[in-house]
Amino acid sequence: MGESKATTTKDNNIPLIDLSLLNSPNNSSSADSIASLAAEITEACETWGCFQVINHGVPVEQSRAIESAARQFFDQPKDEKKKVWRYERNPLGYHDSEITMNVRDWKEVFDFTVQNPTLFPASPDPHDLELRELVNQWPQFPPQFREVCEEYAKEIEKLGYQLLELLSLSLGLPRQRLNHFFKDQTSIVRFNHYPPCPNHPGQVLGVGQHTDSGALSILAQDDVGGLQVKRKWDGEWAPVKPNPHAYLVIICDIFQVWSNDKYESVVHRAMVNSEKERISIVFFFYPAHYTMVEPLEELINDRNPPKYRPYNWGKFSAARRRSNFTKNNVGRIQIDHFKL
């Protein structure tokens, strides 16, 4: 595929960025070409809050294998899937819309961490210093499910670091400025399955509108489509057209805080289909639990003072996870709670 430049026109063409310079066998990318990629990303983030990448380095066979594994897992009877049911002490594994707070959601998911086990706060209480090991739950079927998942996680993590470094450059920072936040990352991979919704699909959402709480989300969707992002300039919903060769990269809340609102996390949602099931696979790139999230010191000054007070990522995320298990319709903690 040839190189595709990010678009600045205000239409439904979400920017498409070619990463072949980073993933060519001879790795001959120059400083100027890397700077050009970073400039494309700057434009995409400021205009849309998301972009698609092609020639991203994730092997085609890995992408096919992970989608096949997800489909085989979700095709099982509910009783089989519930053998790896998630629970409050270890929120990894399988769950469905029956336990989500928003009853309009119409999906089932399977989550696993990139680092296994992953250390995470036992509670959102800032005075509780107990840490808990989150351990992946692996089903017995399909065969090689664990191996396929772990191999995919390695590949998508590589892409995550490439994008993290380009985004750092796009903010005028050193290339590896942000890498240390992810030394003990809490990232997860999520399989989303949206069954057909024959009754009033226009009134039911696979996932309601929201922003993602982490740093980046890297998403692959099948050919059914249904993902929509909210355009920043007019608030209208734009469909993300399925592209089997591309990942959608979503700017999330942590980057909004790090950039002191230069980049805003994009609002998105998933629509259901009346006749076809839909699969998407998301890599949520999360920092270490002990990370203090705040505007980066290089980006603030007297004319651009910090717009957020610091918050601890692990405690913030633990509070959001706890709300997933509450039976009361309580509001979820948001970065707006830390606005100055």
Q: CA-CA distance, 156 to 62, in Å (whole number)?
A: 10
Over the chain, what is the mean pLDDT? 88
- Interior CA angle at 246 toward 6 and 149, to 5°? 140
Pair of tokens at residue 252: 């999330």
Instruction: Give the residue carrying structure tokens 């707070």.
Output: 101
**H helix runs in the chain, sequence order:** 20-23, 31-47, 60-74, 78-81, 145-170, 253-258, 313-325
- Overall pTM > 0.85: yes
Pair of tokens at residue 248: 């959608």
Is residue 213 situated within a structural domain? yes
Is residue 81 situated within a structural domain? yes
Is residue 28 situated within a structural domain? no
Is residue 25 situated within a structural domain? no
Residue 104 pLDDT class (50, 70, 90 cuts):
low
| Residues 6+ away with beta carbon under 8 Å from 132 | 89, 90, 119, 120, 121, 122
Identify the pLDDT of residue 275.
84
pLDDT above 50: residue 126: yes
Is residue 45 situated within a structural domain? no
CB atoms within 10 A of CB 254: 25
pLDDT above 90: residue 28: no
Instruction: Give the residue carrying structure tokens 């950039």.
Output: 259
Is residue 57 situated within a structural domain? no
pLDDT above 90: residue 253: yes
Is residue 294 situated within a structural domain? yes
User: What value does the mean pLDDT take over residues 178-202?
Assistant: 88
Can you say whether the dihedral through the CA atoms of 100, 102, 106, 109 is positive or negative?
A: negative
Which of the 8 DSSP states describes residue 126?
T
Q: Domain of 278?
A: 66-338
The CATH number of the domain holding residue 287 is 2.60.120.330
Q: For 36, phi and psi rounded to 5 degrees? A: -65, -40
Is residue 90 situated within a structural domain? yes
Number of independent structural domains in the chain: 1
Q: For 142, phi and psi rounded to 5 degrees? A: -75, 165
Nearest CA to 280 out of 215, 229, 226 is that of 226
SS3 state at 200: coil
Identify the pLDDT of residue 197.
76
